[in-house]
A and B are shown apart, each in its own frame.
Chain A
Amino acid sequence: MLAYAIRRLLQFIPTILVITLIIFLLLNVLPGNAALMAAGDQDHNIDIHYIEMMKKDWGLDKPIWLRYVLYVKDMATGNLGLSFLRREPVRDLITDRLWPTLKLAIMAMVIAVSFGIPLGFFSALRQGRWLDTFTMMGAVSGVSMPQFWLGLLLMFFVSVKLRLLPPMGYGDGNFINMILPAFTLGVGYMALLARTTRAAVVEILTADYIRTARAKGLSELLVNSNHVWRNTLVLVMTTAGLQFGALMGQTVIVEKLFSWPGLGSLLVDSIFQRDIPVTQGCILTIIMVFLIVNLTVDLLYGFIDPRISYK
């Protein structure tokens, strides 16, 4: 178990390096003059010497491979560079925004897991009955619904018409401000989990060990709770982990929609401002959170499914 955990952690490092390289290359072949942007001036009559000086200041005069090496070296010590625009360390900007985003994502995940998995589970046990039909129709709709539209509708009906919840903003991090954005973010994920769970249970129900359990006279309740439920969790956990990445990606939209001061809105703003160090930092942080979640899921497998041998 320990050896497996260590090996898994070691695999983590090359993955991060390659992702960093891809993102670094994507963002650093940007057309346009980064030094000019860093100088904060759109005026093209700006002094050439000043630009050269800026390039040197920001290390933009070095060849790109050297810049990458330096970036990774800095990153290892937690230094993500300085924002072109605000001249503050990117790390500080990100740590300010990370918690609101994580709060939103976790809350959305809690909503999705606590409704999606049970709905999918019971749908599969009652295949073709009204609960099943209803849930699966809801699930395919949930997967197809653009979140910003759902969010707009909720904002309009719940906040503008019924005046039940604040329409947007972070408040002081109050729970009440979180409900609409978290629900908006969670619906697609919930729908996906319901679909995955149902498919998993349908498959498990045809397995030999279920027939054996029934044959030895276990009650339907015992079969479902001991045999079906546990095996379902193993199958669903993979999807839950993988889809958490999509959820992290979608925080961008939900945060923009609800004026939520998280990583996603920082990312979008930085793209418009061409503040490359911030864009880069945000993207890497979002991917990193996702990778850590997946790593945790992988490690948790051992506890849920003892059959997995860590070879």
Chain B
Amino acid sequence: MARTNLVVGGLTTLIIIIVAVFAPLLAPYHPVDDADLMVSDEPPNNKFFFGTDNQGRDILSRVIFGARISLSVGLISQAFNTLIGIILGMTAGFFGKWWDDIVMGLTNIMLSIPSLIFALAIMALLGPGLLNVFIALGFTNWSYTCRITRSQVLSARSLDYVTAARALGYGQNRIMFTQILPNIVGPILVIATLGVAYAILLEASLSFLGLGVQPPTPSWGGMLSTAREQLFTAPWISIFPGMAIFITVLGLNLLGDGLRDILDPHITKQK
């Protein structure tokens, strides 16, 4: 089961990454400029495999280019979250005392604010736009990484290799980042993979609400937002962007699950 998850999830993710990187080569039309009102709202056919939208743009091309937005938002914002989580969690677990109390207090508070609501609050502050989505999502979802890093550091702190490093006279920063960090990278990686999936869903949600990436930039969530208005007359517009989100997020979730099954010794032992 773990292997299947890992392989299916990994392959799907790889394909999406390839699509995003080679989008200009793969897309038959330009996602924004090739708008032809003569062919607006065409159902899927030989010329436009996924049909066209109300401005006569090729939906297939827009879905292909949309992969770039989703993946970059997912990867970059999760990179921010992971960095924040690691730094806060490491220092909290390592130094303890009042700093630990502050960090854990903040983490618990972040956990009690629904991510979408927090992201909405930041978007209300910054206004819509791709850059602001990066910022909003980059600060929204670090609490899980922080918690897991802290608990891993706490249990690693008393292990022999850390004592040995201390005895060798390593400084605190050196112990934290060159000794402990490489040993706890597994669980962090699992959380990060699932986090990328979650960030992609959140970006799509923000864009769907009209607060994320703005048209004419092709984003999957934004495409669905306009598709809703045409659900009765041109339902095919709703199908493909949503399917793209679903497959991408599913692939990442399977990859995360598979990684967890392999990296987490606690689960493997039970089998």
Q: Spell out A's residues near B (CB within 8 Å).
A: 15, 18-19, 22-23, 26-27, 29-30, 128, 140-141, 143-149, 152-153, 155-156, 160, 167, 202-203, 206, 242, 245-246, 248-250, 252-253, 256-257, 267-268, 271-272, 274, 279, 283, 286-287, 290-291, 294
Give the distance in Å from the alpha carbon of A29 to the alpha carbon of B257 in the complex: 40
In the assembled complex, the CB of A251 is this many whole angstroms from the nearest CB of chain B, namely 9
**Also in contact, A160 and B235, with CB within 8 A (given A146-B245, A252-B117, A253-B116):** yes
Tell me the complex Cα distance, A22–B139, Å. Answer: 13
CB < 8 Å A-B pair total: 134
In the complex, which residues of chain B have a beta carbon less than 8 angstroms from the beta carbon of A271?
120, 123-124, 211
**Known contacts A146-B245, A149-B224, A153-B238; is-contact A283 B117 (Cβ 8 Å):** yes
B231 contacts A206, C-beta separation under 8 Å? no
Bound together, the chains give a CA A104 to CA B191 distance in angstroms of 30
Asked if residues B121 and A27 are in contact (CB atoms below 8 Å), the reply is yes
13 A-B contacts, Cβ less than 8 Å apart? A22-B109, A128-B1, A145-B246, A146-B221, A149-B238, A152-B227, A152-B231, A156-B238, A245-B113, A256-B208, A274-B124, A279-B121, A283-B121
B72 CB-CB contact with A under 8 Å: no
A144 near B249 with CB under 8 A, answer: yes
Q: Which residue of B lies closest to A157 (CB)?
A: B235
Tell which of B17-25, B165-173, B197-205 binds the partner: B197-205
- At the interface, yes or no: B46 with Cβ under 8 Å from chain A? no
- Extra contacts, 4 of them, besides A203-B270, A271-B123 (Cβ < 8 A), are A146-B205, A146-B249, A149-B238, A160-B235
Is there an interface contact between B113 and A19, defined as CB atoms closer than 8 Å?
Answer: yes
Binary A-proximity of B101-129 (CB < 8 A = 1, otherwise 0):
00001001101111111001111110000
- CB closest residue in chain A, given B252: A144
A9, B232: Cα distance in complex, Å: 50
B263: min CB distance to chain A, Å:
16
Binding site for A on B (CB under 8 A): 1, 105, 108-109, 111-117, 120-125, 197, 201, 204-205, 208-211, 221, 224, 227-228, 231-232, 235, 238-239, 241-243, 245-246, 249-250, 253-254, 257, 270
Judge whether B231 and A155 touch: CB under 8 Å.
yes
Instruction: Give every chain A residue within 8 A of B205 (Cβ-Cβ).
Output: 146-148, 253
Cα distance, A19 to B105, chains bound together (Å): 11
B197/A287 in contact, CB under 8 A: no
Known contacts A26-B122, A206-B270: A246-B114 contact under CB 8 Å: yes
For chain B, what secondary structure do more than half of its interface residues adopt (helix, strand, loop), or is it mixed? helix
Question: A141 contacts B116, CB within 8 Å?
Answer: no
Query: With the chains together, A253 CA to B119 CA distance in Å?
Result: 13
For the complex formed, measure the closest distance between the CB of A131 and the CB atoms of chain B, giving whole angstroms.
Answer: 15
Q: Which A-chain residue is minimally distant from B110 (CB atoms)?
A: A22
Do B231 and A156 touch across chains, with their CB atoms under 8 A apart?
yes
Nearest-CB residue, chain B, relative to A29: B125
B208 to chain A, nearest CB (A): 5
- The answer for the CA separation of A252 and B120 in the assembled complex, in Å, is 10
Asked if A287 and B242 sit within 8 Å, CB to CB, the answer is: no
> How many angstroms between the C-alpha atoms of A23 and B122 in the bound complex?
9
Residues A248 and B250 in contact in the complex (CB < 8 Å), given A27-B124, A149-B242: no
Q: Nearest chain-A residue to B105 (Cβ)? A: A18
Residue of B nearest to A276 (CB): B124
Residues of A within 8 A of B122 (CB): 26
Q: What CA separation (Å) do A30 and B228 show in the bound complex?
A: 31
- A248-B245 in contact given A143-B253, A152-B228, A253-B209 (Cβ < 8 Å): no
Chain A residues with Cβ below 8 Å from B257 are 140
Q: How far is the CB of A195 from chain B (nearest CB, A)?
A: 9
Cβ contacts under 8 Å, A279 to chain B: 121, 124
Which of B111, B115, B117, B249 is A286 in contact with, Cβ under 8 Å? B117
Rounded to whole angstroms, the CA-CA distance of A143 and B246 in the bound complex is 9
Q: Which chain A residues lie closer than 8 Å to B112 at the CB level?
A: 15, 19, 245, 287, 290-291, 294
Which 9 interchain pairs have the tightest Cβ spacing? A249-B114, A149-B242, A249-B116, A144-B250, A144-B249, A271-B124, A152-B238, A245-B114, A249-B117
What is the distance, in angstroms, from A111's C-beta to the closest C-beta of chain B? 19
Contact between chains at A149 and B113 (CB < 8 Å): no
Residues from chain B with Cβ under 8 Å of A152 in the complex: 224, 227-228, 231, 238, 242
Contacts A26-B125, A29-B125: A146 and B114 contacting too (C-beta < 8 A)?
no
CB-based contact B253/A287 at 8 Å: no
Residue numbers in A under 8 Å from B197 (CB-CB): 144
Residue of B nearest to A136 (CB): B1
- List residues of chain B with CB within 8 A of the CB of A245: 112-114
Contacts of A286 in B (CB 8 A): 114, 117
For the complex, what is the distance from the CA of A256 to the CA of B211, rounded to whole Å?
Answer: 12
B112 to chain A, nearest CB (A): 6
What is the CA–CA distance of A159 and B248 in the complex, to the nearest angstrom?
28
Chain B residues with CB below 8 A from A287, complex form: 112-114, 117
* Contact (Cβ within 8 A) A15 B109: yes
State in angstroms the CA–CA spacing of A145 and B242 once bound together. Answer: 8
Is there an interface contact between A249 and B124, defined as CB atoms closer than 8 Å?
no
> Which residues on B sit within 8 Å (CB–CB) of A145?
246, 249
Cβ–Cβ contact B109 & A19, under 8 A: yes
For residue A74, give the distance in angstroms from its CB to the closest CB of chain B.
Answer: 20
